[in-house]
């Protein structure tokens, strides 16, 4: 396994995403979300067996990160888990709405927006693990409403947390410097790890098995090999 993979700044992560969806990569946003969400679902399933952790609370933000979460919720349902979707602020884009409809069609429960905080507390009390897909690499502190009341509740629940790409509340380059972000047990980085998670000490996976060799070489990503047909690969633990 390559140990000297590149950590991405926000600017570089954005540039790679743009190239993936340009003629260089020729991917659609739908393709990338589907592959990313599948990797997220596989990571949770790898660490938290459905026999012991069947009830997954999938917390989705309004952007592409939330879209990844909705895809993951659908796959988790197919894997035999019992996902519940919580959206503090639902996304307005057409792709987000279609992903949500796909989950509705699978009879995956979504917490209604009314009285959301009390409903979130009840959902946390009846969940086994959290999938955090709230903020992506474009997030910049401070945390604003309604998320400023949501993140503390997730932390106070003491449930294990799997974060997508960057733990919610962390700066993509400075990490949890302000101390307001989630402290997940597991992180699934997408494309390549971000600068802010260099010191992350939990179990760390890489997902998004879609980077063309040409782009990997162009940006010097030096990605590890994915084993067999897996969509994820576990990275060595950081020594703190």
Question: Is residue 1 predicted with pLDDT exceeding 70?
Answer: no
pLDDT of residue 170: 94
141 annotated ligand binder: yes
64 annotated ligand binder: yes
Average pLDDT, the chain: 92
The percent of residues above 70 in pLDDT, for the chain, comes to: 96
Residue 1 token pair: 């396994």
pLDDT of residue 116: 67
160 annotated ligand binder: no
67 annotated ligand binder: yes
For 113-166, write each residue's pLDDT tens digit: 766 678 899 999 999 999 999 998 878 778 888 889 999 999 999 999 999 999
Position 2 confidence tier, pLDDT thresholds 50, 70, 90: very low
3-state DSSP assignment of residue 198 = coil
136 annotated ligand binder: yes
The stretch 181-207 carries a mean pLDDT of 96
Q: Each residue of 111-144: b (16+ CB within 10 Å) or e? A: beeeebeeebeebbeebbbbbbbbbbbebeeebe
Enumerate the domain spans of the chain.
Answer: 10-226
Angle between helices 64-79 and 29-47 (to 10 degrees): 50
165 annotated ligand binder: yes
69 annotated ligand binder: no
Question: Is residue 86 predicted with pLDDT exceeding 80?
Answer: yes
Residue range 10-226 forms a domain whose CATH class is: alpha beta
65 annotated ligand binder: yes
The stretch 92-96 carries a mean pLDDT of 94
């Amino acid at each position: 396994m390559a140990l000297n993979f590149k950590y991405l700044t926000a600017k570089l992560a954005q540039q790679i995403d743009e190239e993936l969806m340009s003629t260089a990569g020729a991917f659609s946003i739908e393709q990338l979300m589907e592959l990313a969400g599948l990797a997220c679902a596989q990571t949770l399933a790898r660490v938290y067996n459905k026999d012991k952790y069947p009830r997954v609370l999938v917390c989705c933000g309004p952007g592409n990160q939330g879209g990844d979460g909705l895809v993951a919720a659908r796959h988790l349902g197919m894997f035999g888990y019992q996902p519940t979707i919580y959206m503090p602020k639902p996304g307005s884009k057409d792709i987000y709405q279609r992903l949500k409809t796909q989950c509705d069609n699978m009879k995956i429960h979504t917490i209604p927006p009314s009285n959301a905080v009390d409903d979130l507390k009840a959902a946390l009390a009846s969940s086994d693990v959290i999938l955090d897909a709230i903020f992506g690499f474009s997030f910049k502190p401070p945390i604003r409403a309604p998320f400023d009341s949501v993140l503390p509740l997730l932390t106070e629940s003491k449930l294990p947390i799997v974060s997508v790409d960057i733990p919610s509340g962390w700066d993509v380059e400075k990490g949890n410097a302000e101390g307001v972000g989630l402290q997940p047990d597991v992180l699934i980085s997408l494309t390549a790890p971000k600068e802010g998670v260099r010191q992350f000490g939990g179990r760390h996976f890489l997902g998004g098995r879609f980077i063309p060799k040409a782009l990997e070489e162009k940006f010097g990503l030096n990605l590890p090999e994915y084993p067999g047909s897996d969509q994820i690969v576990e990275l060595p633990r950081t020594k703190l």
